[in-house]
Amino acid sequence: MTQYEPVIGLEVHAQLLTKSKLFCRCSVQFGQEPNRRVCPVCLGWPGALPMANREAVRLAVRTALALNCRIVERSIFARKQYFYPDLPKGYQISQYEQPFSEAGFLDIDVDGSPKRAGITRVHMEEDAGKNLHGIGGNSVVDLNRAGTPLVEIVGDPDLCSSAEAAAYLRALRDVLIFIGVNDGNLEEGSFRCDANVSIRPKGQEQFGTRVELKNINSFRFVQRAIDAEVARQTAILDSGGRVVQETRSYDPDRNVTKSLRSKADAHDYRYFPDPDLPPLVIDSAWVDQERAGLPELPAQKRDRYAGELGLTPAAAQTLTSHPAVASFFEQVLQLVDSPVKAANWMQTEVLRGVKTHGLDAQFSVTPAQVAELLQLVERGDISGKQAKEVYAAMEGTERTASQIVEERGMKVVSDEGALRALCQQVIDQNPKGVETYRSGKTGTLGFFVGQVMKLSKGSANPKLVSELLQSLLDGGAS
């Protein structure tokens, strides 16, 4: 137990899915040869004038609306002054005193406990370049990323544990990829998180000294980094020391945070309105249009799956793990009226073959193929065991389930006479099981069904087998 409580606020930088940069026409395509996606504007050459990217503004507004923010009609781009090799202009174009949105929130769930975390603001800014160290013994800079459009989502200091921070980050990423503004790729840096961490004595309202943890690139590392920093600050205060405001990095190999530089306050950046960019005016009718065009968000989708479709919370969570997975499931439901069975099949079979990268997803089958297969099982044309064999044969092909069933001569045996003989054979071979069933332990019926299915090599109609076995076992008892 500790006498302190953490206070955590996250700042997330999310790259917007535009084709060009925020203030010029240079491509934002990832993985290109260094310093080839640049021009006088993003290199900061004298006389080059920036012009705001309309699509970036649209995606930023879409983000703010999905996070329940209030859109400000008139906002200002500002210059944030600091000198670093990956910032060719010597300043970053961002928003400060007058951002385009403010006062939002995000609902999260931590181990079944709901919580609403406030969002201070969502604002636009351009990304910096990328420093690369140890290249031929030198440090070099790649400016391809300089000028890439970002939204910075500044969270309120409402989070009280590393688990809440990880849940917030996951929920935020889900929202951004479902509305199509960001690909959520932490590895490529298009979704990055800084964590502001402080501790204070329990019951105290005043915040402690804030430390910023920079550029954490995984959900697991967010939790570990915050826990490591809380432990460090706790040890300092317990020994009578004083926490220093600074920026630190996280070393996952040693599970410690390391000092990078002293933390600058806002006045140190000497913000002032960018004289080359006019005020950004966002029309209210355009905002209404974007609000109306928002898709169903993942939390709403999960609630609908559990409430209307009868799925378990775990199944609803799995099927909303990616927008393409949710879309595939809903396409299946347009063709079959068995949401629970479709969900089970998605989880046990379909998702095993899915490959996702950002917003893209590759499936080994189509929704139509899955729907037809489920219909064959529902009609009793094939058994569940046979369906798995058909599915395996169908993956990666354009063949239908019916074609495979016909090719392989697969058909469920529903001949009552033939099945009755199999059932009697199993009963005769298992006298102890019969005695157990007739003593009142009717749950052993499943054992007998399994033995008949095994004997028929999965071709028997399991529903009819169950009825016949029950009749024979109960009749014998009388």
- The reported pLDDT for the residue numbered 477 is 43
**Which amino acid is it at 116?**
R
- The reported pLDDT for the residue numbered 473 is 85
Helix, strand, coil: what percent of the chain each, to 5?
Answer: 40, 25, 35
pTM here is: 0.81
Q: Which residues of 275-301 are buried (b: 16+ CB within 10 A; e: fewer)?
A: eebeebebeeeebeebeeeeeebbbeb
In this prediction, the residues of the chain whose per-residue pLDDT falls under 70 are: 1, 263-267, 411-415, 476-478
What residue ranges do the domains of the chain occupy?
4-286, 296-407, 416-477
Question: In 65-137, at which residue ranges do the beta strands (DSSP E only) sit?
Answer: 70-71, 74-75, 78-81, 91-94, 101-110, 113-126, 130-135
Cα separation, 106 vs 68, whole angstroms: 8
Q: Show the tokens assigned to 189.
A: 């840096």
Distance of CA 344 to the CA centre of its chain: 20
Ramachandran bin of 396, using left for φ above 0, alpha for ψ from -120 to 50, beta for the remaining angles = left
% the chain with pLDDT above 90:
48
- The reported pLDDT for the residue numbered 9 is 93
Structural contact between residues 338 and 370, judged by C-beta atoms closer than 8 angstroms: no
Q: Show the tokens assigned to 395.
A: 């993956």
Cα separation, 183 vs 358, whole angstroms: 4
Q: What is the DSSP letter of 267?
A: G
- The reported pLDDT for the residue numbered 413 is 64
Q: What is the CATH number of domain 416-477?
A: 1.10.10.410
Q: What is the DSSP letter of 206?
A: S
Cα separation, 238 vs 1, whole angstroms: 13
